[in-house]
Amino acid sequence: MQDHETVPYSLESLADDESIARARSLRDRLKERRTCRYFSDAPVPREVIEAAIEAAGTAPNGANHQPWHFAVVESAEKKQAIRQAAEAEERRFYGSDGADPKASDEWLGALKQLGTDADKPFLETAPYLIVVFAQRKGGIDEDGKTQNYYVNESVGIACGMLIATLHEAGLATLTHTPSPMGFLREACERPEWEKPLMIVVVGHPTDDATVPAHALKKKPLSQISSWL
Ligand code: IYR
């Protein structure tokens, strides 16, 4: 191994029973998470968003370049501008602009189970939109030049940790991916080497929020795992 500086690493050692109990307990909490499309305008403390972003920022990533940026949109004007641009893309996607839909029939068929359409009022109602950017370049110093590695993998893991932390804080989230998303770079004043990956909509669900029954169908362990 190359000569490099190290620091000690240790973890609290748990008895097997405790380890199993903790894993199951977090599993059960995460099982309650749902992707929510009905947000109230009830406020959320900024501190929760900050802590969740700090949690996301601990994600494993390529060469520790931490190739992510989280643009937190809270101003009503900015949210309105993002909603308008996102809905314009979605109308083209669903074909509700009168032209042929950009989405294939198969894709639109898969979405029938979710009941989604081009209307995205939650982009204005929810207190926060976290626009997640993947830094294709920049390194740890964000110089815009240094090569980054495993960017999509790194930012994807960070998003999972962000969403898990927000769920633990009692908040609802929606991962929203208008396509194409280029307009978000300009809206959030980010540099050209950053690629918008998704919007994580954050807030409280409305009192009458629902989720599609389809979302409750989870593949069992026997299907999603194999043991070799
Ligand atoms: N971006 C669109 C379409 C959409 C696509 C998938 I795959 C989803 O799981 C949900 C929606 C929209 O937000 O409506």
The reply to whether 14 falls in a domain is: no
Q: Please count the helices (runs of H) and the strands (runs of E) in the chain.
A: 8, 4
Q: What is the pLDDT of residue 228?
A: 98
**Residue 180 vs residue 198, higher pLDDT:** 198
The reply to whether 6 falls in a domain is: no
CA triplet 135, 140, 142: central angle to 5 degrees? 55
Specify the CATH number for the domain of residue 109: 3.40.109.10
User: Ligand 1: residues within 6 Å at CB?
Assistant: 90, 93, 111, 114, 116, 176-179
Q: Tell me the best of 111, 179, 198 to mutate to test the pocket of ligand 1, counting ligand atoms within 8 Å of each CB and taking the most.
A: 111
The reply to whether 57 falls in a domain is: yes
Task: Name which of 163, 158, 200 is nearest 178 in CA terms.
Answer: 200
Q: Mean pLDDT, to the nearest integer, of 185-201?
A: 97
Please provide the average confidence, as pLDDT, over all residues in the chain: 97
- What is the pLDDT confidence band of residue 112, given thresholds at 50, 70 and 90? very high
Per-residue model confidence as pLDDT tens digits over 175-186: 999 988 999 999
Ligand 1 center–CA 111 separation, angstroms? 7
Total-model pTM:
0.97
Ligand 1 center–CA 98 separation, angstroms? 19
Q: What is the pLDDT of residue 2?
A: 75
Atom index in ligand 1 nearest the CA of residue 103 equals: 3
- What is the pLDDT confidence band of residue 17, given thresholds at 50, 70 and 90? very high
The reply to whether 8 falls in a domain is: no
Check pLDDT > 90 for residue 127. Answer: yes
Q: In this structure, which residue's CA is closest to atom 9 in ligand 1?
A: 111
Query: What are the structure tokens assigned to 30, written together?
Result: 């995460």
Check pLDDT > 90 for residue 203. Answer: yes
- What is the pLDDT confidence band of residue 154, given thresholds at 50, 70 and 90? very high
The reply to whether 22 falls in a domain is: no
Q: In this structure, which residue's CA is closest to atom 11 in ligand 1?
A: 116
Ligand 1 center–CA 18 separation, angstroms? 39
What is the span of the domain harbouring residue 185? 35-207
Structure-token match 């029939």, residue found:
105
The reply to whether 75 falls in a domain is: yes
Ligand 1 center–CA 77 separation, angstroms? 24
Q: Mean pLDDT, to the nearest integer, of 44-49?
A: 98
The reply to whether 161 falls in a domain is: yes
Q: What is the pLDDT of residue 179?
A: 84
Query: How many C-alpha atoms does 1 have within 13 Å on its Cβ side?
Result: 4
Q: What is the pLDDT of residue 175?
A: 98
Split into its structural domains, the chain has a count of 1
Q: Mean pLDDT, to the nearest integer, of 192-198?
A: 97
Per-residue model confidence as pLDDT tens digits over 55-99: 999 999 999 999 999 999 999 999 999 999 999 999 999 999 999
The reply to whether 25 falls in a domain is: no
Atom index in ligand 1 nearest the CA of residue 176 equals: 13
Q: In this structure, which residue's CA is closest to atom 2 in ligand 1?
A: 178
